[in-house]
Structure 1
């Protein structure tokens, strides 16, 4: 592990993937079937990326209990598929702290397509 992966402030941004299934439906483990999924991103306080990984698994497992869904009370469950990302935070958390960034090279017209207006976020 390089020092660049270690957060000097003990915080990480981590993401994990959950998949929604109906428990009595066939094909829940068919790699060709499509499923509703959520990739959740959370802050994790951890000593290193391995500790962050363990904590992400724990957080995700809290959302995987089977339950009865919909008007018919169908047995459903969110299945934990795994951790998708762990990124160290390099600065103390406060207003305006950068917690993530991405780097890319794109045409200006494509850059303009990804920018949103304030109204795009209005409730």
Structure 2
């Protein structure tokens, strides 16, 4: 089961990161922002928008598959790790700076995910022990 979670959440992060970065690439290539037909044409003739849409669809189906088996609390927390993966990719792809707030946020997200995973593991062990009695 642990292998299912590791593979599943890796795939989820991959699709979500691709979707969000593709969406940003679409926005960059469609500049300047203007609510006009020309801007819409720039958006929808850009291949990144379709990669983004496909990424969001694949993210949705991956998430639904994971939720069938994963506990909701830790799964929801782990799904927010995409904030970290998007930040890391954005540093490389968009040359965005690493700030103190980003580092603190990353530490808090990872800590929260670890604490929830540990709490869920402890709760599962307690439930297992109670069932054995």
TM over 0.5: no
Higher helix proportion:
2
With a CA cutoff of 8 Å and minimum separation of 6, indicate the structure with the bigger relative contact order.
Answer: 1
TM-score (norm 1): 0.30
TM-score w.r.t. length of structure 2: 0.29
